Each structure stands twice: as structure tokens, then as C-alpha cells.
């Protein structure tokens, strides 16, 4: 008997339909789980964006860099050094250096400084720097040298504020600029009177610090804030035990640390990685009166206020007028006078009601509604602050 393969087609279709529905349900479930994971990841990213580590808000007191400076000479310049007649201290310094090498110039003959430039050398001595470590130095001309490009700094002692020598600098300068002149024309790219010597100074003396002394350390906050100091102490006590940290004031947090150096380093490494919730800063508006820049932080709020803003312009134009005598007059003279026109124009300013802004976006939207330029906005913000409607500190830099 012949068997028709299509006799069970409806049953096969039903089975395929059920399989398709099951696959769709699995896809929806997977998509739902993916959405939940995406939302969870987004929430975690938001939460991580609102947290910070202790190392980002505080540092161990006494562990810092130190400033070093020294006076030196750059030699090997291609005729772009200091002029002898205008920079006498360059020739004097060169003569003193040659005397240290056993070379004494005859009386009346001074050192030519066409290829020499007097410079100041500065460097930052890192914390825990030890003798033999190399640090970068910056070299800047203090005379009238045209360029330091291609020059070499001779051995220069670098001193701290106590007058002691902590490093010796020497090496070839790296100057990023370039220039050329001739026939009264000059072309220059970037700056030619300052340069850098990577790893150009060798540390000769270590700076003592109080990191290993005592059984306590002081964490100094980057900015004074009682809420941040209290929160740092709470986070440390929660992780290391009650009584480990104590907030002394709005800037310093005292921490009990192990006496062993290895344990103390490990203790601080763990301490710096502890996370704490971000503290809302003091509401502040920073105004740069020179450039017209205005910066608002997230805590700035605005109370309801009405502002009328208009512009006032005064224009003065002067036109010369020549008065000549008649053709038949005798003794007449030509007189030049000026005709001055003064115009005062004042554009009307409608009274605009600014709604209260509880968030930074609302404050920005309200200020943009005024349509004022940044320079005018400086005066408007000062007036709003004087009226008590700007809930923030106004700082002018």
C-alpha cells in the first residue's frame, strides 16, 4: 500500500509551531534577562560613578614632592646665546666655571657668550626619592638668548629651600620649537627659550619624611570638608575596626597604622582603595572676569527671581570740517575743526521671571532664557546673588 508522506503534514506543522513558540519564549526570556543585566550594569556604573576611592580625596601627610632650583649655563648654542655687553653675569659665570677647570683668562679679556646662555634649572624631587634616581628637569633662559635649541646644560647643582644640594643636573636640551630669521623677517614656531631634559638630574640626597615614625599617620584631605573627613573615618573604621581612624578636623584624619614598614605599606595600599560615597560639594559659581568664563558645580540652585536685562551703548563719532575763507577775502585763514556726534542707544529689556531651579540643568536653562552674553551674565549673577536668589558662593578669579 502506497504511503503518502504528506498525510501527517498538519501534525508536523503543529509540532513546528510549538517548537517555534518555545524558541520565541526562550528568546523573550533571554532578552528579558539581558535587559535586567543591562539595567543592573547601568545601575552599577551609575553607582560606581558616584563613588570614589580614598586616594582620590586624601593623601598621607608629609609624603609630597619638593621643589629644587639652580643656576646654570647652557653651552653649544649656534650663535643664539646671551649678548656679552647686556648680560654681564653670563660672562662672569663662564669665567668662574673655567677657573674651576684650571683655566684663568688674562686680565681685560672676557669670555664671549655668543654660544652660551644663563639659565635657571628647576625640578621636582619625588617623595621617597633615593640617591642615584633620575628625575626630569626644566631649563629656562634668564637672559636675552634667542634660542636654547641644540644646547647642552653643564653640571648644575640643584638646591632646596634649605640651601642644601639634593641633585645634580646635566644633559642635552629638548626644545620643541624652531625658528629662523634673516633680512628683517623672522619665523618662529612654539617657544625657544625653554626646554626639558628627560631624566636630566641625578638625586644625591634623600629627603627625610615621617612615614616610618610613630604608630599613627595623618591623612590630609585635598579640600577641607567636615562631611568628607567624617565619611573617610567611618569607612576606615568599618573596614579596619572601630577606633582605627579619627577625624581631627575638616582637613585631617588620624589613622593608627602598623609599626612594621612592610605591614604599613600593605595597610596603606588597602586603605587607599577603600570606596566612599561622593559628597555633594559646596554650591559655588566661579567667574573669570578676564575671559568671561562661568563655571557652575552640581550643587548650585536658584530661587524664583525676576530679571530685566537690556543693553546700553554709547557711540562717539568725530568728523573733520575744513573752513576756508572766501576767494576775495584778505587775511583769511583755513581752519580745520571737528564735528562730534554723540549717540546713546538703549535697548529695552523685558522683565523675565526665572523659575526656581533645584538642579543644575534647570539653572542653566533659566540663565539661557535671558539671552545675555557671558560678560553681561557676570553682572546678572552678581545681582541675583545680591538679591538672595542664587544659592551658591560667587567666586571671582
Q: Give 190-206 pLDDT, tens digit per residue.
A: 678 899 999 999 999 99
| 73 and 199 in a common domain | yes
Q: What's the CA gap between 202 and 158, in Å, rounded?
A: 10
Does residue 58 surpass a pLDDT of 60?
yes
| pLDDT the model gives residue 350 | 62
Q: Tens of pLDDT along 288-297?
A: 877 878 888 8
Question: Using an 8 Å Cβ cutoff, are 229 and 249 in contact?
Answer: yes
* Mean pLDDT, rounded, for 103-116: 76
| 272 and 307 in a common domain | no
Which residues share a beta bridge with 306? 353
**3-class DSSP state of 394:** strand
Task: Specify if 41 maps to a domain.
Answer: no
| pLDDT the model gives residue 27 | 42
- Domain boundary among the residues 277, 294, 312 is at 277
Task: Specify if 12 maps to a domain.
Answer: no
| 268 and 355 in a common domain | no
Q: What's the CA gap between 80 and 101, in Å, rounded?
A: 24
Torsion of CA 207, 210, 211, 213, to 10 degrees: 130
Does residue 88 surpass a pLDDT of 70?
yes
| 75 and 196 in a common domain | yes
The single-letter DSSP state of residue 55 is: G
Identify the domain containing residue 154 by its residue range. Answer: 66-175+191-203
* Phi-psi region at 27: left, alpha or beta (left = phi > 0; alpha = psi -120 to 50): alpha
Task: Specify if 30 maps to a domain.
Answer: no
Phi, psi at residue 300, to the nearest 5°? Answer: -75, 130
Task: Specify if 233 maps to a domain.
Answer: yes
- Burial label for 70, CB within 10 Å (0-12, 13-18, 19+), is buried
| pLDDT the model gives residue 303 | 86
Range of weakest confidence among 91-100, 216-225, 226-235, 345-354 = 345-354
Does residue 50 surpass a pLDDT of 60?
yes
Contacts of 390 (CB under 8 A, 6+ apart): 285, 300, 302, 303, 381, 384
| pLDDT the model gives residue 151 | 93
* Phi-psi region at 232: left, alpha or beta (left = phi > 0; alpha = psi -120 to 50): alpha
| 340 and 252 in a common domain | no
| 240 and 156 in a common domain | no
Q: What's the CA gap between 71 and 158, in Å, rounded?
A: 8
pTM to 2 decimals? 0.64
Q: How many CB atoms lie within 10 A of CB 63?
A: 15
| 311 and 240 in a common domain | no
Task: Specify if 19 maps to a domain.
Answer: no
Range of weakest confidence among 256-260, 293-297, 369-373 = 369-373
Q: What's the CA gap between 208 and 130, in Å, rounded?
A: 10
**Residue among 379, 99, 283 nearest 370 (CA):** 379
| pLDDT the model gives residue 12 | 45
| pLDDT the model gives residue 315 | 62
As for how many domains the chain has, the answer is 3
Bridge pairing between strands 351-354 and 335-346:
unpaired
**Residue among 221, 244, 290 nearest 55 (CA):** 221
The more confident residue out of 18 and 145 is 145
* Mean pLDDT, rounded, for 63-69: 92
| pLDDT the model gives residue 326 | 74
Range of weakest confidence among 173-182, 194-203, 212-221 = 173-182
Q: What's the CA gap between 68 and 161, in Å, rounded?
A: 8
| pLDDT the model gives residue 110 | 62
Does residue 60 surpass a pLDDT of 70?
yes
Task: Specify if 181 maps to a domain.
Answer: no
| 136 and 74 in a common domain | yes
Q: Tens of pLDDT along 11-34?
A: 444 444 444 444 444 444 444 433
Question: Average per-residue pLDDT in the chain?
Answer: 79
Residues in the chain: 397
Q: How would residue 229 be classed by pLDDT, with cut points 50, 70 and 90? A: very high
The single-letter DSSP state of residue 212 is: S
| 354 and 270 in a common domain | no
Range of weakest confidence among 95-104, 211-220, 342-351 = 342-351
**Residue among 270, 249, 219 nearest 61 (CA):** 219
Q: How far is CA 259 from CA 128, 212, 305, in A?
A: 18, 7, 59
Range of weakest confidence among 81-95, 261-275, 337-351 = 337-351
Q: How many CB atoms lie within 10 A of CB 253?
A: 25
| 199 and 88 in a common domain | yes
| 319 and 271 in a common domain | no
Q: What's the CA gap between 215 and 261, in Å, rounded?
A: 11
| 269 and 354 in a common domain | no
The more confident residue out of 336 and 388 is 388
Task: Specify if 27 maps to a domain.
Answer: no
Q: How would residue 41 be classed by pLDDT, with cut points 50, 70 and 90? A: very low
* Mean pLDDT, rounded, for 78-84: 82
Q: What's the CA gap between 44 and 374, in Å, rounded?
A: 38
- Burial label for 349, CB within 10 Å (0-12, 13-18, 19+), is middle
| H or E element in which residue 199 lies | strand 194-203
Task: Specify if 182 maps to a domain.
Answer: no
Which residues share a beta bridge with 74? 117, 153
Does residue 36 surpass a pLDDT of 80?
no
| pLDDT the model gives residue 21 | 44
Phi, psi at residue 321, to the nearest 5°? Answer: -125, 125
Amino acid at each position: 500500500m502506497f504511503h503518502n508522506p504528506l498525510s501527517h503534514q498538519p501534525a508536523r506543522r503543529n509540532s513546528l509551531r510549538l517548537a517555534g513558540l518555545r524558541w520565541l519564549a526562550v528568546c523573550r526570556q533571554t532578552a528579558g534577562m539581558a535587559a535586567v543585566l543591562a539595567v543592573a550594569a547601568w545601575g552599577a556604573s551609575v553607582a560606581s560613578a558616584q563613588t570614589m576611592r580614598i586616594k582620590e580625596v586624601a593623601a598621607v601627610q608629609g609624603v609630597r614632592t619638593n621643589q629644587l632650583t639652580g643656576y646654570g649655563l647652557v653651552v653649544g648654542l649656534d650663535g643664539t646665546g646671551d649678548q656679552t655687553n647686556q648680560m654681564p653675569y653670563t660672562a662672569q659665570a663662564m669665567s668662574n666655571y673655567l677657573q674651576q677647570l684650571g683655566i684663568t683668562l688674562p686680565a681685560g679679556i672676557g669670555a664671549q657668550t655668543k654660544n652660551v646662555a644663563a639659565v635657571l634649572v628647576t625640578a621636582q624631587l619625588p617623595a621617597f626619592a633615593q640617591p642615584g634616581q633620575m628625575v626630569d628637569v626644566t631649563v629656562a633662559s634668564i637672559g636675552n638668548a634667542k634660542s636654547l635649541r641644540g644646547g647642552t646644560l653643564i653640571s648644575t647643582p640643584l638646591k632646596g629651600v634649605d640651601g642644601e644640594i639634593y641633585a645634580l643636573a646635566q644633559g642635552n636640551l629638548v626644545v620643541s620649537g624652531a625658528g629662523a630669521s634673516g633680512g628683517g623677517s623672522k619665523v618662529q614656531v612654539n617657544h625657544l627659550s625653554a626646554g626639558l631634559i628627560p631624566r636630566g638630574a641625578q638625586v644625591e640626597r634623600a629627603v627625610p619624611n615621617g612615614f616610618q615614625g610613630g604608630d599613627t599617620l595623618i591623612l590630609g584631605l585635598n579640600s577641607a570638608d567636615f562631611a568628607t573627613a567624617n565619611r573617610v573615618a567611618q569607612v576606615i573604621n568599618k573596614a579596619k575596626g572601630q577606633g582605627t581612624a579619627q577625624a581631627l578636623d575638616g582637613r585631617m584624619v588620624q589613622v593608627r597604622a602598623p609599626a612594621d614598614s612592610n605591614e604599613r605599606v600593605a595597610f596603606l595600599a588597602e586603605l587607599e582603595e577603600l570606596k566612599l560615597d561622593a559628597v555633594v560639594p559646596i554650591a559655588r559659581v566661579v567667574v573669570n572676569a578676564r575671559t568671561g568664563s562661568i563655571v557652575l558645580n552640581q550643587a548650585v540652585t536658584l530661587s524664583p527671581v525676576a530679571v530685566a536685562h537690556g543693553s546700553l551703548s554709547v557711540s562717539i563719532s568725530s568728523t573733520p570740517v575744513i573752513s576756508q575763507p572766501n576767494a576775495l577775502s584778505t587775511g583769511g585763514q583755513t581752519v580745520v575743526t571737528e564735528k562730534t556726534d554723540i549717540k546713546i542707544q538703549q535697548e529695552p529689556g523685558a522683565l523675565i521671571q526665572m523659575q526656581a531651579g533645584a538642579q543644575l540643568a534647570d539653572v542653566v536653562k533659566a540663565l539661557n532664557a535671558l539671552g545675555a552674553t557671558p560678560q553681561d551674565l557676570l553682572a546678572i549673577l552678581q545681582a541675583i546673588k545680591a538679591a538672595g536668589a542664587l544659592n551658591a558662593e560667587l567666586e571671582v578669579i
